[in-house]
Structure 1
Amino acid sequence: MAGHSQFGLLKQRRFLPFFLVQSLGAFNDNVYRQAIIGLLFFMGVSAQDKTLYTNLAPALFILPYFLFSATAGQIAEKLEKSRLIRITTTMEIVIMSVAAIGFLMQSMPILLVALFSTGLQSTLFGPVKYSILPSVLKPEELTGGNGLVEMGTSLSILIGMIFGGLIFKLAGAQGPQVAAVSIILLAIAGNVVSRRIPPVEAAAPDLKIRLNPIPESLAVLRLAKKQVAVRNSVLGVSWFWFVGTVLTAQLPTYATVNLGGSETLYIFALALFSIGTGVGSLLCEKLSARTVEIGLVPLGAFGMTGFLLDLYFARTGLAPVSGLSVTQFVQQAGSLRIIIDLVGIGLFTGFFVVPLFALIQSRTPRNELSRVIAGMNIQNAGFIVLAAILGIALQMPGVTLGGVHVPLPGLSIPQVFLALAVANALVAIWIFLLVPEFLMRFLSWVLVRSLYRLRLHGIEKNVPDEGAALLVCNHVSYMDALILAASIPRPVRFVMYYKIFRIPVMSWIFRTAKAIPIAGAREDPELMKRAFDEIDRALAEGEIVGIFPEGALTRDGEIAPFKSGVERILERRPVPVVPMALKGMWSSMWSRRDTRLGRMRVPRRFRAHVEVMAAPPVTDPQVSAEALEVVVRGLRGSDA
């Protein structure tokens, strides 16, 4: 995949205007919310009123997600998507105009009404934000596109908070006017850019919109749980929001009490986490080789846990000094460890969440995706509220209810981080046990990326994005199926010799990947019949099936004659056939080039260069095994 970069999407109209619109929206939301806090200090309201407004504001913003997400998902399904984005950005102009009046009049009620409306506008935009990506991106671009979106969102939130927080400090008496003008100009900019988004057809134009929020919310939540892998990916995304909410909610106090910093140190800590998340999101495409690689999810989960644990041990108590600037903090002993931990948490958070979004988008039918995203947003909102409540409750020593004292943990902030690390590990293990595919892909990803350096040719062009297809490939080593699975964006059902299928440890991976074991007619005719029935069933359901028509591993590095099984498959189910070839595998580990003892001489073939080639699909249902063999031989060339 040399020469490919997700940043190339930023030069294309199908992606760039949408990317800018969602980034501007996140930026403006956070400018507005921070400017409201700045206005409270500017107006000199009492501490009691500050507490009231600062707690009321997040609740008003998130309430629409509970009330209107189901309706938003239906609207995003029914309307042409670029039109809906223009509608929501027009709404933003109107809402920010009302908010501007609130700033100029220094009226908190008006600002809070506008904040609720901003939450409503974000609720309407949410489903289309992620459901548009599979419509404008190829399957191999989904991970990179989601990485860019997450990076843009993280940095926009951070910069928006900084900009909004500085308005009243730098503008002084002109703060209300600057805030009013800023939010209107940003809303107009988003609307102007939205008009450059190309049309994207509606996924379900005949869908009847039902407005009753309770039954429809339950309906979209059920839709999000229909497929096991999607259901648990949605759960993973919601957990990401839970972890992020608990962590970022503690940072202002943590920066002051435990790090000894001034107010600016909180922004620095938040910046470290946000930059880490952005970098991790961008790295996902490189690490996944442009496939939807859910093997990164366990890596992200365990990495988050590791750095959260280390953040606890890095500073378990109060800061020895106070009032430190960012520069002074960086010069303190032990500060580098805390900096690395905050960046590391963000980095692995990116690894965790980006593949989950890509999986949800790739495995959900297009005419249901917006509603599945809406269901996810409802669940996300619930997890955010739960995180906020738990974050407060865990730090309270107790409460008195009806004259009865109820003890609570009374944890310090570092202890909250420790509890979050333990909870994150337990939730991750639970998800991976529920859906072994996550852990299976992680193990196969580690194996393939550790042992080989892959170069892919023709995969994105020739392997169909959807629908049934049969892959035929030469068979060189015991790792062939894993290498092909790591190279193809879609899940592949591999047909493999039953003795390879039963190799210890590897057999768990193969079973989890729904590989189809097969035996020769003389060995086990019943198993052979079941295998062909399962192949036909998988193709009938629109899946990709991969076979090795030689019937066995090569003994000399050359391609053996293809057997007639491929013809038997096509007789029952005519589907496109994609010829593929592996180059460089004969000199790598796990081929039969050496004796068993010789294969253990790892160093000279460790991290072997392997090429995966794909030719255009053959659509002739009468194609012979010999003809396909000729194509595969031509793909492989003279290099085994």
Structure 2
Amino acid sequence: MSSPLYLLKTHRFAPLFGTQFLGAFNDNLFKNTLAVLLTFQAAEWTSISSALLAPLIGAVFILPFFLFSGVAGELADKFDKARLARIVKVWEIFLMVIATVGFATHSFITLMIVVFGMGMHSTLFGPIKYSIIPQHMGENELVSANALVESGTFAAILLGTLIGGVLSGIPNGGVIAGIASIAVAIIGYTLSRYIPNAPSLSPEMPFSLNLIAQTRNAIRLAYQNRMVFLSILAISWFWLYGALLLSQFPSFVQSVLMGDETTVTILLSLFTLGIGAGSILCERLSHHSLRVSLVVIGAIGMGLSGIDFALAAQHFTTTGDIYANPQFFHILFDLTLIGVFGGLYSVPLYALMQGRSEAHSRSRIIAANNILNALFMVSGAVVTILLLGDGWSIPDIFLLVGITTLLVAGIIARLIHTKAKNEL
């Protein structure tokens, strides 16, 4: 068991991994195809300003996380998770059929409905995915399984984003992307049928469709376990940092680096590959056990490399050919390091959240994680908009988030020290 890849040969993990990978791929294939088409052909689709379309798509996608995460967690705690996964994949096939129609008819409203539906798809699948892992894995396999899921997810995000960008640039690319997404969703459903049953541990639990009550209940359950709740807050910071970087890449490349679409793709690719590499490195360094110290190392690394990234961006000078500029490769190196340390940081936190959660309420706690992740990402976006409006530059904002990440590292290290001291 020297490599986590052995899990990909097991019936208890491989179908779940494949289902998750294809779902993440489809999300990003659809969203990026739509985003690029709307950016360059906005007048043919809607009267909304092209500058507002990207944040609008993001907001519509993330809205279901606030509305339905509580109910999604309760469903995954009450019913067999493998069966729910199959239902969610059928929902994905249905959405991709509608998306294909929307692309063919240039119906903006139809496609935004699909964006909302795909957000709901991710909302429903998240608690299933993360709560089924500890149900099928041994405690010494949690870090390995999460490392594979994290690296696989970001690889799927990158692949879907790149292919979506390519398809959006060819005639009838939207329709082609839609048909491809239908095929991928069907394959994902087929794989989901091989996920071993994961029976509910609390089938008698009452079920309610009260969205507000379920959201409040999920957060309350997470808050009752201090270690779990702190892990969720730390994970949420990771998503805030990552979402802020990804959302600002296009503007950063255009206004600071003076690059083009290819430059954006390079930044996205290296950051994503860095997270995947960091996730696998975390598994190697963990030796099949949970090492919280890696979280501190990851946070310090994200902070320091983030600060250097921001300072390099602040002092970047254009020289004509960006690919002949050593400063550009300095920036790429720092960005890759942020991703690598991000993988080191996030994987142990997911394993900690899963391992320390009560089995009968684990899905609802993971739903609370999704809610707080979404809240942090939206808050980060709002603060970014306010700071940009107040005259801050994008590198200034990158510097702020890098420094704040060092503060987060200090808080985590202090908490670990206090816990160790109390256990003596």
Aligned mates of 1:384, 1:205 — CA distance in 2: 33
Match of 1:480 in 2: none
Aligned mates of 1:33, 1:146 — CA distance in 2: 25
Match of 1:99 in 2: 99
Within a 5 Å distance, the mapping from 1:194-593 to structure 2 comes to 194-317=192-315, 319-321=317-319, 324=321, 329=323, 331-396=324-389, 408=390, 410-433=391-414, 436-437=415-416, 440=417, 511-512=421-422, 514-515=423-424
Q: C-alpha deviations, 1:252-284, integer Å up to 9, x for none? A: 121222222111101100111111100001111
Q: Percent identity?
A: 38
Shift of 1:48: 4.4
Aligned mates of 2:173, 2:41 — CA distance in 1: 8
Partners of 1:258 and 1:317 within 8 A in 2: no
Q: Does 1:129 align with 2:150?
A: no
Q: C-alpha deviations, 1:445-490, integer Å up to 9, x for none? A: xxxxxxxxxxxxxxxxxxxxxxxxxxxxxxxxxxxxxxxxxxxxxx
Aligned mates of 1:296, 1:130 — CA distance in 2: 20
Query: What is the one-letter code of the residue matched to 1:104?
Result: A
The gaps in structure 2 that reach 5 residues or longer are: none
| Matched position secondary structure for 1:380 | helix
Match of 1:185 in 2: 183
Shift of 1:188: 0.9
Partners of 2:239 and 2:377 within 8 A in 1: yes
| Matched position secondary structure for 1:315 | helix
Aligned mates of 1:220, 1:107 — CA distance in 2: 36
Partners of 1:106 and 1:176 within 8 A in 2: no
Aligned mates of 1:10, 1:345 — CA distance in 2: 27
Normalised TM-score (structure 1): 0.64
Shift of 1:425: 1.6
Query: Could you say if the C-alpha distance between residues 359 and 262 of structure 1 is closer, same or farther in structure 2, counting changes exceeding 3 Å?
Result: same
Query: What is the one-letter code of the residue matched to 1:12?
Result: T
Aligned mates of 1:264, 1:12 — CA distance in 2: 38
| Matched position secondary structure for 1:367 | helix
| Matched position secondary structure for 1:210 | coil
Aligned mates of 2:327, 2:114 — CA distance in 1: 44
Match of 2:6 in 1: 8
Partners of 2:42 and 2:50 within 8 A in 1: no
Aligned mates of 1:231, 1:333 — CA distance in 2: 43
Query: What is the one-letter code of the residue matched to 2:197?
Result: P
Aligned mates of 2:299, 2:178 — CA distance in 1: 41
Match of 2:19 in 1: 21
Partners of 1:35 and 1:167 within 8 A in 2: yes
Aligned mates of 1:235, 1:72 — CA distance in 2: 20
Residue range with higher mean Cα deviation, 348-357 or 36-45 = 36-45
Aligned mates of 1:156, 1:185 — CA distance in 2: 16
Q: Structure 1 or 2: larger helix share?
A: 2
Shift of 1:427: 2.7
Aligned mates of 2:278, 2:294 — CA distance in 1: 11
Shift of 1:53: 3.1
Q: Structure 1 or 2: larger strand share?
A: 1
Aligned mates of 2:251, 2:329 — CA distance in 1: 19
Normalised TM-score (structure 2): 0.96
Q: C-alpha deviations, 1:200-244, integer Å up to 9, x for none? A: 121221111111111221111011111111110010011111111
Aligned mates of 1:39, 1:303 — CA distance in 2: 36
Shift of 1:334: 2.2
Q: Radius of gyration: which is bigger?
A: 1
Q: C-alpha deviations, 1:469-514, integer Å up to 9, x for none? A: xxxxxxxxxxxxxxxxxxxxxxxxxxxxxxxxxxxxxxx78534x1
Partners of 1:317 and 1:414 within 8 A in 2: no
Q: C-alpha deviations, 1:511-541, integer Å up to 9, x for none? A: 34x14xxxxxxxxxxxxxxxxxxxxxxxxxx
Aligned mates of 1:240, 1:376 — CA distance in 2: 12
